[in-house]
Amino acid sequence: MQRNILLNPGPATTTDTVKMAQVVPDICPRERAFASMMKGMREDLVRIVHGDPDTYTSVLFCGSGTINIDICLNSLLPEGKKVLVVNNGAYSTRAAEICGYYGLPFIDLKFPVDALPDLDRIEQTFMKNPDIALVHTTHNETGTGILNPIREIGALAHRYGAVFTVDTTSTYAMRPIDIARDNIDFCMASAQKGLMAMTGLSFIIGNRALIERSADYPKRSYYCNLYLQYHFFETTGEMHFTPPVQTIYAARQALDEYFAEGEEAKWQRHLSVFEAIHAGLERLGFQDMIRRELQAGLVVCVKYPDDVNWDFEKVHDYCYARGFTIYPGKVSSQDTFRLCALGAITAKDIGDFFIVLEEALREYGIQIPVCYR
Ligand SMILES: *Cc1c(COP(=O)(O)O)cnc(C)c1O
């Protein structure tokens, strides 16, 4: 199989063994064998964030990662209470939009996209709004690659009696997370990012007692309700509606490969890819947008050079034709593109990529080192 190096922020490059794990004999997902595979998977997803299995559980859903944000926000807010979104990027903005679509009372507490949220302002917001019952933020804002101080935000949320949900889609199974020590009540991811599996399966990992407490919260969605899906799993072992069968077989294989590689070794591999990305960018003179010490170690957000010949589409197409995928930015104030350290790739792949990127710059007459005004 042709091996493509995906430097976009997910779906990630996968191993051939994960791709091939999808090819299985046909099976009805209501069979006991399938339910028992999902049971093991739910336990392993909790293990990845070091959750005590008596306190934490995980719930699977069929959908891309955004479904998790939707489900957490619409399912975990009691009647008459308010959501606080700590927002310094595109993914927390998405959470605020979801609150808007459901008509939930919410505060969109905005911070600059290239800085950490200010904990004092968050605390003042709690003091002024005793009805905040749910706080949501993003761990690694994938648009910029900034790492948010979730442990500190979670401590504040808990001090003021709120549940803390964190979008860990672009850190889970890469940057180590300890759900209890990091003060997380619910975190989430989809199979195609840190797990390096296929698209279509997402999961929420969180506090079982809080899910059970949400049983009588307002039901705002039929398909996307956390308690209903949890309850169905607990009583039948099955997903409420048809699961993405083959995708789940691939995720099972990816979990086995995750534990075989090991949490720390995998994180060090991602970090070595990240360092190689920085080294290559520096050599060609590219500047990144976020201060290096604020970056999560997984996404590099690169400023477009000020060169009349720079054309992202052309550079993308040149690299794509040679097996490397680069990705546009997601910041409105500045033109950027992104290079990410997700997936089954190594620092050597990044070395190969920069040879191709440099060829592309020469091909289109873009000055090297690239220039900024
Ligand atoms: C990828 C990602 C998502 C999910 O996006 P989808 O397009 O629904 O897959 C959510 N949050 C973060 C932080 C992400 O990186």
Which residue ranges make up each domain of the chain?
17-260, 262-363
Give the model confidence (pLDDT) of 109-126 as tens digits: 999 999 999 999 999 999
| Residue 295 pLDDT level (bands cut at 50, 70, 90) | very high
CA pair distance 14, 300, nearest whole angstrom: 20
Give the model confidence (pLDDT) of 163-206 as tens digits: 999 999 999 999 999 999 999 999 999 999 999 999 999 999 99
* Architecture of domain 17-260 in this structure: 3-Layer(aba) Sandwich (3.40)
Three-state SS at 72? helix
Q: Can you give the pLDDT at residue 217?
A: 98
CA pair distance 141, 87, nearest whole angstrom: 9
Q: Can you give the pLDDT at residue 197?
A: 98
- Cα-to-centroid distance, 68 and ligand 1 (Å): 9
Ligand 1 environment, Cβ below 6 A:
9-10, 64-66, 91, 138, 142, 167, 169-170, 190
Which residue has its alpha carbon closest to ligand 1 atom 4? 65
| Residue 52 pLDDT level (bands cut at 50, 70, 90) | very high
Check if the beta carbon of residue 287 is closer than 8 Å to that of residue 372: yes
Write down the pTM of the prediction.
Answer: 0.98
Which residue, among 144, 169, 147, has the nearest Cα to 336 in the 3D structure?
144
Report the nearest atom of ligand 1 relative to the CA of 67. 8
Structure tokens at 364: 């289109």
Q: Can you give the pLDDT at residue 92?
A: 98
Question: What mean pLDDT comes out for the span 23-41?
Answer: 97
CATH superfamily of 262-363: Aspartate Aminotransferase, domain 1 (3.90.1150.10)
Indicate the top mutation candidate among 62, 69, 97, 142 to test ligand 1's pocket, ranked by most ligand atoms within 8 A of CB: 142
- Cα-to-centroid distance, 144 and ligand 1 (Å): 13
Q: CA neighbours within 13 Å on the CB side: how many for 45?
A: 31
pLDDT > 90? residue 332: no
**Residue 108 CB burial class (10 angstroms; 0-12, 13-18, ≥19):** middle
- 75 phi and psi angles, rounded to 5 deg: -100, -25
Largest interatomic CA distance in the chain: 63
Report the nearest atom of ligand 1 relative to the CA of 139. 13
